A = this chain, B = another copy of it.
Amino acid sequence: MCVTRVVITIFVHRNGKTETATSLDRLWLNPASGVVVWVDLAAPSIPESLVLKDTFAFHPLSVEDAMSPTQFPKAEAYDGYLYVILHGIHFRAAEHRFATHDVDFFIGPTYLVTVHDGDSRSIVDLREHAARNSKIVGDGPVALFHHIVDAMVDHYRPEAESLEDGIDELEDRVFDKPTPELVRQILTQKRDVSSLRRIITPQRDVVARLARRDFVDISTEMSFRFRDVYDHLVRIADDAIMFQDRITGILDAYLSNVNNRLNEVMKVLTIVSTIFLPLMLLTGLYGMNVPLPRLPGGDGAQFWWLMAIGGAIVLGMLVAFRRKKWI
Contacts and interface: CB of A to CB of B under 8 A. Distances in A.
B283 A287 contact: yes
Nearest to A245: B194
A4 interface: no
A246 B97 CA distance: 14
Contact of A266 (B72, B198, B269, B280): B269
Interface in A226-276: 227-228, 231, 234-235, 238, 242, 245-246, 249-263, 265-270, 272-274, 276
18 contacts: A59-B224, A61-B225, A72-B235, A76-B227, A180-B256, A187-B252, A190-B249, A191-B245, A195-B242, A254-B256, A262-B262, A269-B273, A273-B273, A283-B288, A284-B287, A287-B288, A290-B306, A291-B299
A23 interface: no
B287 A253 contact: no
Q: Bin the interface of chain A by size.
A: 35 or more
Contact of A187 (B225, B235, B249, B261): B249
Interface of A: 59, 61, 65, 71-72, 74, 76, 171, 175, 180, 183-184, 187, 190-191, 194-195, 198, 224-225, 227-228, 231, 234-235, 238, 242, 245-246, 249-263, 265-270, 272-274, 276-281, 283-293, 299-300, 302-304, 306, 326
Please indicate which of the listed interface residues A274, A290, A303 has the most CB atoms of chain B within 10 Å of its own CB.
A290
In the A-B complex, the 4 residue pairs with the smallest Cβ-Cβ separation, listed nearest first, are: A283-B284, A286-B288, A276-B277, A269-B270
Please indicate which of the listed interface residues A238, A270, A302 has the most CB atoms of chain B within 10 Å of its own CB.
A270
Given A242-B198, A289-B292, A272 B267 contact: no
B268 A268 contact: no
B274 A268 contact: yes
B191 A246 contact: yes
A253 B183 CA distance: 6
A245 B251 CA distance: 14
B266 A259 contact: no
B290 A260 contact: no
Given A276-B281, A293-B300, 18 more contacts: A61-B224, A74-B231, A76-B227, A175-B184, A180-B257, A198-B242, A255-B255, A265-B326, A266-B266, A266-B270, A270-B272, A273-B273, A281-B283, A286-B288, A288-B303, A290-B302, A291-B302, A292-B303
